[in-house]
């Protein structure tokens, strides 16, 4: 009897993370209803994408400052040198947030703005600390909760040059020192900390494909090594908070993982299901499984191990955690941040080992899209709202229903577009937020939602060509004025109703939202004519980016 009980407990724990039902993809109609009381609504941004002021007030260089100044790395060789001038305009931006009645604002701290050489022991830049102090204070004065990301990709350049950045395990301690300083200086007021934003991208695009800073192409190894050190750094920072600050400051420390959803091409085909699961495990599970369960997903260990063997390597290209490290890493997450934008169909595709092994070929799968899916903006971003509900339910079943904050979700528009009547964005938000509501009804523990992003900003290697903002920024004007898109009005109504109360009301929102954008369009057009006139009058050549119309 006891044996049978033990066996069923064992079976239960083995299958606990496997009860996601791949075959059940309910695509239900729009759901009218509201979110639980206290649900938090916010918008997001990041330091390098919005602050500008790249070399003022004692700020050190980050890997992005270096990367963007190399020719050929960024669309039209644009840079984030001045971007939205958020460093100078944060008060205006907080007023925009106040007007939207946001509950939280997610932003990131630039490590080299505070520690110009990356090292706390070398130099602390008080002016940098003051900037974030002022920002945090003003948010709190306006009853907006700061949600702070410690690493949104801007590693101090010195650390890249001296140590190879995230290829080097020494980053773990340096990052911990930086985080500890942030806890010390801001932790009396900041209660939500995100260690890393989208570590997948840091690892894969920074060290495998080289599309992002630092631009390294260490195929098949670079991403795994970077991720290994990032996971360790995350865990260390969580422990630092837990042992040194939690009892005084009573905050939470999480991580923000970005993942697309992967849907099997054919849900009746086991090989497609397995391929889709691999897609998710290599994306989100790569980081989430160590943090929730102590080690990499078994499927990653199996695939990368086998392929490394076939290459004739003595050890797997996927690094190994020691037993001590596993228990140190396991459970280091007070909440899980989720960034989500799009979905892919996935099917099995075998890549023979030996030729060009990489993170991508290790997964043995192919990604497909449905040509019917709307693709309003960025080339990779198809609007597939039901994928969001699937991803959230997957997280619930895989990681024991953790507390979730959606840390990023949103859509860009095409380069040519200067229309503030962004009905496609309204549609995207309406449907994605509705799928999140359905997930909450499914029992997923989502506590808050962050629209990406407040402003159009520097979209990494795509420069200014992909605009994700609720507010349009006129980058051609050196004052970088902000103009509300229609989606601001729409999001405001979702916030004030805490969801979608009833059909009649929700339908009227769209109408009302687009009423104001026509006049905003006229204002913008007039301002542009004016600034063009001024420029011609002064015989000036373009002195700020004119790229949004190429």
Give strand pairing partners of 337: 256, 405
Residue nearest ligand NOJ, Cβ-based: 198
Complex with ligand NOJ: residue 49 or 82, whichever CB lies closer:
49
| CB 151 to ligand NOJ: min, Å | 11
| CB 24 to ligand NOJ: min, Å | 29
Complex with ligand NOJ: residue 336 or 506, whichever CB lies closer:
336
Instruction: Report the distance separating Cα 404 and Cα 406, nearest Å.
Output: 6
Query: Checking DSSP bridges between strand 40-44 and strand 33-34, what pairing results, if any?
Result: unpaired
Instruction: Report the distance separating Cα 202 and Cα 166, nearest Å.
Output: 9
Binding of ligand NOJ at residue 198 (CB under 6 A)? yes
From the list 459, 461, 474, 548, which residue makes contact with ligand NOJ (rule: CB under 6 A)?
459
| CB 302 to ligand NOJ: min, Å | 29
| CB 464 to ligand NOJ: min, Å | 12
Please answer whether residues 437 and 31 qualify as being in contact, where contact means their C-beta atoms are separated by less than 8 angstroms: yes
Complex with ligand NOJ: residue 260 or 357, whichever CB lies closer:
260
| CB 198 to ligand NOJ: min, Å | 4
Please answer whether residues 237 and 249 qualify as being in contact, where contact means their C-beta atoms are separated by less than 8 angstroms: no
Closest by CA to 108, choosing from 171, 52, 50, is 50
Where in 477-496 is the site for ligand NOJ (CB under 6 A)? none
Instruction: Report the distance separating Cα 227 and Cα 172, nearest Å.
Output: 11
| CB 461 to ligand NOJ: min, Å | 10
Complex with ligand NOJ: residue 154 or 277, whichever CB lies closer:
154
Where in 47-76 is the site for ligand NOJ (CB under 6 A)? 49
Complex with ligand NOJ: residue 146 or 187, whichever CB lies closer:
146
Instruction: Report the distance separating Cα 376 and Cα 412, nearest Å.
Output: 7
Complex with ligand NOJ: residue 65 or 408, whichever CB lies closer:
408
| CB 28 to ligand NOJ: min, Å | 27
Please answer whether residues 413 and 455 qualify as being in contact, where contact means their C-beta atoms are separated by less than 8 angstroms: no
Instruction: Report the distance separating Cα 197 and Cα 35, nearest Å.
Output: 25
Where in 306-345 is the site for ligand NOJ (CB under 6 A)? 339
Complex with ligand NOJ: residue 213 or 514, whichever CB lies closer:
213
Work out the angle at residue 46's Cα, subtended by the Cα atoms of residues 414 and 66, and round it to the nearest 5 degrees: 90
| CB 201 to ligand NOJ: min, Å | 7
Please answer whether residues 308 and 317 qualify as being in contact, where contact means their C-beta atoms are separated by less than 8 angstroms: yes
Complex with ligand NOJ: residue 154 or 357, whichever CB lies closer:
154
Please answer whether residues 186 and 179 qualify as being in contact, where contact means their C-beta atoms are separated by less than 8 angstroms: no
Complex with ligand NOJ: residue 258 or 293, whichever CB lies closer:
258
Query: Checking DSSP bridges between strand 252-258 and strand 192-197, what pairing results, if any?
Result: parallel
Please answer whether residues 186 and 133 qualify as being in contact, where contact means their C-beta atoms are separated by less than 8 angstroms: yes
**Could you tell me how many residues of this chain bind ligand NOJ (CB under 6 A)?**
10
| CB 338 to ligand NOJ: min, Å | 11
| CB 450 to ligand NOJ: min, Å | 11
| CB 256 to ligand NOJ: min, Å | 8
Helix axes 171-186, 222-240, angle to 10 degrees: 40
Where in 229-268 is the site for ligand NOJ (CB under 6 A)? 258
Helix axes 286-293, 199-207, angle to 10 degrees: 130
Binding of ligand NOJ at residue 383 (CB under 6 A)? no
Complex with ligand NOJ: residue 197 or 308, whichever CB lies closer:
197
DSSP 540: P
| CB 107 to ligand NOJ: min, Å | 12
| CB 399 to ligand NOJ: min, Å | 20
DSSP 3-state percent helix, strand, coil across the chain (nearest 5): 50, 15, 40
Complex with ligand NOJ: residue 167 or 457, whichever CB lies closer:
457
Binding of ligand NOJ at residue 468 (CB under 6 A)? yes
Burial 361-371 (b: 16+ CB within 10 A, else e): bbbbbbbeeee
Residue 99's SS3 state is: helix
Instruction: Report the distance separating Cα 493 and Cα 421, nearest Å.
Output: 16
Binding of ligand NOJ at residue 413 (CB under 6 A)? no
Where in 415-454 is the site for ligand NOJ (CB under 6 A)? 452
From the list 272, 277, 408, 423, which residue makes contact with ligand NOJ (rule: CB under 6 A)?
408
Binding of ligand NOJ at residue 110 (CB under 6 A)? no
From the list 46, 358, 393, 465, which residue makes contact with ligand NOJ (rule: CB under 6 A)?
46
Complex with ligand NOJ: residue 408 or 413, whichever CB lies closer:
408
Please answer whether residues 259 and 338 qualify as being in contact, where contact means their C-beta atoms are separated by less than 8 angstroms: yes
Complex with ligand NOJ: residue 219 or 340, whichever CB lies closer:
340
Instruction: Report the distance separating Cα 206 and Cα 112, nearest Å.
Output: 18
Binding of ligand NOJ at residue 197 (CB under 6 A)? yes
260, two tokens: 């697309």
Burial 256-283 (b: 16+ CB within 10 A, else e): bbbbbbbbbbeeeeeebbbbbbbbbbbb
**Interface ranges with ligand NOJ (CB under 6 A):** 46, 49, 197-198, 258, 339, 408, 452, 459, 468
């Amino acid at each position: 009897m006891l044996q049978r009980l033990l066996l069923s407990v064992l079976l239960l724990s083995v299958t606990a993370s496997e009860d996601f039902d791949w075959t059940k993809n309910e695509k239900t109609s729009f759901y009218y209803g509201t979110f639980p009381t206290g649900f938090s609504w916010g918008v997001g941004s990041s330091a390098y994408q919005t602050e500008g002021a790249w070399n003022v007030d004692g700020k050190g260089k980050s890997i992005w400052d270096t990367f963007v100044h190399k020719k050929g790395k960024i669309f039209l060789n644009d840079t984030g040198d001045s971007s939205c001038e958020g460093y100078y305009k944060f008060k205006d931006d907080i007023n925009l947030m106040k007007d939207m009645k946001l509950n939280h604002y997610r932003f990131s701290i630039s490590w080299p703005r505070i520690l110009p050489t990356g090292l706390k022991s070398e130099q602390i830049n008080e002016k940098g600390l003051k900037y974030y102090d002022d920002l945090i204070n003003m948010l709190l004065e306006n009853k907006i909760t700061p949600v702070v990301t410690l690493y949104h990709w801007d590693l101090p350049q010195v650390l890249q040059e001296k140590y190879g950045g995230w290829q080097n395990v020494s980053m773990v301690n340096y990052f911990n020192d930086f985080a500890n300083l942030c806890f010390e200086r801001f932790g009396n007021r900041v209660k939500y900390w995100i260690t890393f934003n989208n570590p997948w991208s840091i690892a894969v695009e920074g060290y495998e494909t080289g599309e992002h800073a630092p631009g390294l192409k260490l195929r098949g190894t670079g991403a795994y090594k970077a991720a290994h050190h990032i996971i360790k750094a995350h865990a260390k920072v969580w422990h630092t908070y837990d042992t040194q600050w939690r009892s005084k400051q009573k905050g939470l420390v999480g991580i923000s993982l970005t993942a697309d959803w992967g849907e099997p091409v054919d849900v009746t085909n086991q090989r497609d299901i397995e391929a889709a699961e691999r897609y998710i495990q290599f994306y989100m599970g790569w980081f989430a499984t160590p943090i929730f369960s102590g080690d990499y997903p078994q499927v990653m260990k199996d695939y990368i191990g086998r392929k490394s063997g076939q290459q004739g390597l003595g050890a797997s290209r996927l690094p190994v955690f020691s037993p001590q490290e596993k228990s140190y890493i396991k459970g280091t997450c007070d909440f899980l941040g989720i960034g989500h934008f799009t979905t892919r169909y996935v099917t099995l595709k075998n890549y023979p080992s030996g030729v060009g092994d990489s993170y991508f070929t290790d997964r043995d799968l192919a990604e497909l899209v449905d040509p019917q899916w709307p693709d309003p903006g960025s080339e990779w971003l198809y609007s597939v709202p039901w994928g969001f509900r699937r991803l959230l339910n997957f997280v619930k079943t895989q990681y024991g229903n953790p507390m979730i904050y959606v840390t990023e979700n949103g859509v860009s528009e095409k380069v040519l577009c200067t229309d503030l009547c962004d009905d496609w964005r309204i549609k995207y938000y309406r449907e994605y937020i509705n799928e999140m509501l359905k997930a909450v009804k499914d029992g997923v523990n989502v506590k808050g939602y962050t629209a990406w992003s407040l402003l159009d900003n520097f979209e990494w290697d795509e420069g200014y060509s992909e605009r994700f903002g609720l507010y349009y920024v006129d980058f051609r004007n050196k004052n970088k004025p902000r103009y509300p898109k229609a989606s601001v009005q729409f999001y405001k109504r979702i916030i004030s109703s805490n969801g979608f109360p009833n059909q009649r009301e929700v339908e009227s929102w769209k109408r009302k939202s687009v009423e104001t954008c026509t006049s905003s369009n006229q204002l913008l057009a007039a301002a542009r004519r004016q600034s063009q006139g001024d420029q011609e009058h002064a015989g000036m050549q373009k002195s700020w980016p004119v790229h949004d119309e190429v």
